[in-house]
Amino acid sequence: MKYIFLLFTGFIFAQQTQFVDFKSVNAQLTLNAKEKSVSGTVDYGFMVLKSIDTIKIDAKNMEFSKVQIDNKDVVFVNSGKQLQLIGNFQKGENHLTFKYTAKPKQALYFVDIEGKDVQIWTQGQGRYTSNWFPSFDDVNEKVIFNLGISYDKEYQVISNGILKDKTQKDNLFHWQYKMEKPMSSYVLMLAVGKYDKKSLKSKSNVPLEYYLENKDASRFEPTFRYSKRIFDFLEKEIGVSYPWQVYREIPVRDFLYAGMENTTSTLFATRYVVDSIGFTDRNYTNVDAHELAHHWFGNLITAESSKHHWLQEGFATYYAALAEREIFGDDYFYSKLYDTAQQIKFASRTDSIPVLNPKASSLTFYEKGAWTLFVLHESIGDKAFKKAIKSYLKKYAYQIVNTEDFFNEIKKVSDFDLDKFQKTWLESTVFDTPTANALLSKNKAIQVRLEVDKLKKTPLAEKKDFFIKTLNSDVYHTVKESIVDQLENEKYEAKKDLLLLAMQTNNVQIRQTVAETLTKIPEDFRAAYETLLNDQSYQTQEIALYWLWRNFPDHRNEYLNKSKNWIGFNDYNLRTLWLSLALSTSNYADNPDELVAELIGFSSTKYEATTRQNALEKLIAFKIINDQVLSNLVSSTTHHMWQFSKFGRDTIRMLLKNSEMRASFERILPNLTPDEQFQLNRLLKE
């Protein structure tokens, strides 16, 4: 074994794929939840294409031993960011083997579940997989990955590809997964948890596996309501068979995003694990379709650089919209396009970065990318568009692509002016509203929506008859919601009959819009507003309960009695609200200490970040604050979810403006963990 600590120039900084082609990897891994570490033996098969002196593998903060090529020790440098192999490498096939250990700071997460169980999962998109597995940050390097993982027999272990073998030794199971085709490293994954699994098959006979935590088994139907239908639709719509051996969907706790399209095995956030009522407000359908579409656009063919990122996110967003159109209809499809058009137009006032730019915003890559495809699809026709997509996917399967590659396939089926189109949709930040409105206006609901929106500055008296007519019609609900939105700042007496008409539609979304926009509730509207408490929507119930409690103090006990057994989504939105309201209602609670303890408990590490934030927001808003609350708040600043840690920091900054709160934070400081002390000290010194 040799270590050389020298600076090497030249090839290290060139694109490695021109010199070396890594073909496949077989790795046997062991996870240690207590140490939050991963270790294993790795065997890479690779081909030297041109003679070179340095080969690199991205590997952040890892330790290596027994590094050999073709069973011979090789000189290597561990830079802390890369494993660099030094030698005189000539053309030909080789095998690289080594052992490694890592305690990743990101990309591999160990989520504690009530001190008894654990979930382990990865998130590699970007350049993060190399934090937990020696791999390649460059998406151009595609490899066939085969992982074996040993872990406690009580748990399910999932990785990419088909499960080839599962063997038991003592209290461990060894799970051996195998891929047949190459992929970029960022979609390599692991997931470990206590799950129930349901297996189905697509129309084309692809195995489909859907996972839920044991406690959520009853939520299978609403959570995965359209999953198989989406799979079958996308295979048919795209016109190219699903390119992998199996497809799985697994929810994980405290996930960083809505979902992630790891090849063959999508991970998604538990917020989308819902019952039939929760489905109304936050169903998994769009995320489901988006991540599955990536298995063609992103996993099968991969954008060569972030400049062309729209070829992944724009395509996944557009095909998800087409899947939702299949399920929910044309009005839903056009209404979503209309809403995203408004968002893009508003953003373009300040956003000066177009689609074809690596620094473009998510809105630009996703939504304007999808709009680009919608306009192109409508412009060249369905037959030509589908023919080009099919040719594009087959020609570049398991390769990298750029925008020119895609447009070259369009040119084969149409003489459409792509140069002008690219300048308008991909290189300009201005949204082409005339073209968009012309396409949207093919839908009758959007025709009415455009009429409604033109009336925003018109006095209510002049548009009221039109509003009444529209509310009484069978037009799509989003049009009626836009009417209710326009009424928000009108005087109550002038809009009362319109609000009652909106309530009488008995449409959950329209009624929810009334709940959101009428926060000062007149007494003669109280009875109508109270009916919102019975709506089959946890979001509506939360809004209605809060505003009724605020507006009608004399009826607080009545509202609290009605809602005392409500739980809500899996983030306990209704339960945490009820606890905070009950504790803030004079003489209501017989056992306030128990209620305080329960609410504070929801803010502890026992629960997911969304639940903790819900509870902390309410504890602070209702001034139910003690040392434990402050400790739980400081704990949030060390969480791996940046949204939650940012909430914690921002909330502490706000509280520190109060001298008494500052003293309280200083008092709890010695009792915090070192990481928590570090974060709080930084905030105290600002």
**Domain with 167 in it: what CATH number?**
2.60.40.1730
Per DSSP, 269 falls in state E
Query: Structure tokens of 457?
Result: 């500055």
Q: What is the mean pLDDT of residues 228-233?
A: 98
Consecutive H or E run containing 61: none
Give the closest residue to 534 by CA, choosing from 550, 548, 553: 548
Phi-psi region of 589 (alpha: psi -120 to 50; beta: other; left: phi over 0): beta
Question: 173, 192, 211 — which closes off a domain?
Answer: 192
Nearest-angstrom CA–CA distance, 432 and 374: 13
pLDDT above 60 (res 319): yes
Report pLDDT for 2: 32
Closest by Cα among 124, 93, 118, 120 to 109: 120
Rounded distance between C-alpha atoms, residue 46 and residue 71, angstroms: 14
Gap between the Cα atoms of 109 and 253, Å rounded: 10
Q: What gap in Å lies between CA 516 and CA 154, rounded to an integer?
A: 45
Question: At 405, which CATH number?
Answer: 1.10.390.10
| pLDDT (0 to 100) of residue 426 | 98
Residues 183 and 239 grouped into a single domain: no
What is the chain's mean pLDDT, rounded?
Answer: 96
What is the structure's pLDDT at 153?
96
Given a contact cutoff of 8 angstroms between Cβ atoms, the answer to whether 52 and 89 are in contact is: yes
pLDDT at 229: 98
Q: Is the pLDDT of residue 1 over 90?
A: no
Are residues 198 and 188 part of one domain? no
* pTM to 2 decimal places: 0.95
The separation between CA 6 and the C-alpha centre of its own chain, rounded to angstroms, equals: 42
Q: Please tell me the distance from the alpha carbon of residue 438 to that of residue 417, in angstroms, as a whole number.
A: 18
87 assigned to some structural domain = yes
In a domain, 263, yes or no: yes
The closest alpha carbon to 41, from 109, 127, 133, belongs to 133
Within a domain: 243: yes
Q: 14-18, 399-403, 535-539, 556-560: lowest mean pLDDT where?
A: 14-18
Instruction: Note every long-range contact of 197-201, with CB atoms under 8 Å and residues 24 or more positions apart, other chains counting.
Output: 197/156, 198/224, 200/228
Q: Is residue 308 scored above 50 in pLDDT?
A: yes
The encoded tokens of residue 653 equal 């900054």
178 and 327 inside one domain? no
Q: Are residues 402 and 452 in the same domain?
A: no
The gap from C-alpha 48 to its chain's centroid, in whole angstroms, comes to 38
DSSP string spanning 152-196?
ETTSEEEESSEEEEEEEETTEEEEEEE-SS-EEGGG--EEEE-EE
577: number of Cβ within 10 Å: 25
Tell me the residue length of the chain: 686
Q: How high is the pLDDT of residue 108?
A: 98
Chain CA centroid to CA 570, Å:
17
> What is the mean pLDDT of the segment spanning 664-677?
97
- Judge whether 577 lies within some domain: no
Whether residue 10 has pLDDT greater than 60: no
Beta bridge partner(s), residue 54: 86
Nearest to 507 by CA among 474, 538, 530: 474
- Given this model, what pLDDT does residue 11 score? 37
Location of structure tokens 């049009």:
479
458 shares a domain with 401: no
For strands 92-102 and 20-32, give the pairing: unpaired
User: Is the pLDDT reported for residue 6 higher than 50?
Assistant: no
Q: Alpha-carbon distance 247 to 557, whole Å?
A: 50
Q: List C-alpha distances in Å: 44 to 25, 132, 396.
A: 4, 16, 24
Name the strand (E) or helix (H) holding 474.
Answer: none
Same domain, 222 and 321: no
Is 53:175 a contact under the CB 8 Å cutoff? Answer: no
Q: Give the angle 415-421-423 at the CA atoms, nearest 5°.
A: 140
Inside any domain, residue 346: yes
Q: In 3D, which of 466, 473, 436, 433 has the Cα closest to residue 452?
A: 466
Of 359, 512, 371, nearest in space to 435 by CA? 371
Same domain, 73 and 173: yes
Backbone angles phi and psi of 449, in degrees to 5: -60, -40
**Shared-domain flag, residues 366 and 401:** yes
Mean local confidence (pLDDT), 629-648: 97
User: What is the C-alpha separation between 542 and 614, in angstroms, rounded?
Assistant: 12
Q: How many CB atoms lie within 10 A of CB 639?
A: 18
Contact 356, 317 (CB under 8 A): no
Query: Of 389, 417, 440, which one is at a domain's C-terminal end?
Result: 440
Order of strands across the sheet with 259-260? 195-201, 207-213, 247-252, 265-269, 259-260
pLDDT at 204: 98
Q: How confident is the model at residue 115 (pLDDT cuts 50, 70, 90)?
A: confident
> Do residue 71 and residue 153 come from a single domain?
yes
Q: Does the pLDDT of residue 378 top 70, yes or no?
A: yes
Tell me: do 63 and 186 sit in the same domain: yes
Cα angle vertex 49, ends 48, 54, to 5°? 50
Region of 20 on the Ramachandran plot (φ > 0 left; ψ -120 to 50 alpha; else beta)? beta
Give the span between the Cα atoms of 619 and 648, in whole angstroms: 13
Structural domain harbouring 224: 194-295
Q: How many domains does the chain have?
A: 4
One domain, residues 469 and 388 = no
| 161 and 252 inside one domain | no
* pLDDT above 70 coverage of the chain, percent: 98
Quickly state the pLDDT bin for 74 (edges 50, 70, 90): very high
* Predicted confidence band of residue 15 (pLDDT cuts 50, 70, 90): confident
pLDDT of residue 4 exceeding 70, the answer is no
Q: Is residue 105 classed as helix, strand or coil in its secondary structure? A: coil
436-467 core/surface letters (b: 16 or more CB in 10 A; e: else)? beebbeebebbebbeebeebeeeebeebbeeb
Phi, psi of 440, deg, nearest 5? -65, -35
Q: In the structure, what pLDDT confidence band is assigned to residue 429 with cuts at 50, 70 and 90?
A: very high
Residue 94 covered by a domain: yes
Residue 4 within a domain? yes
Q: Is residue 524 part of a domain?
A: no
Residue after which a domain boundary falls, among 192, 212, 235? 192
Mean pLDDT value of segment 141-159 = 97
Question: 70: exposed, middle or buried (C-beta count within 10 Å: 0-12, 13-18, 19+)?
Answer: exposed
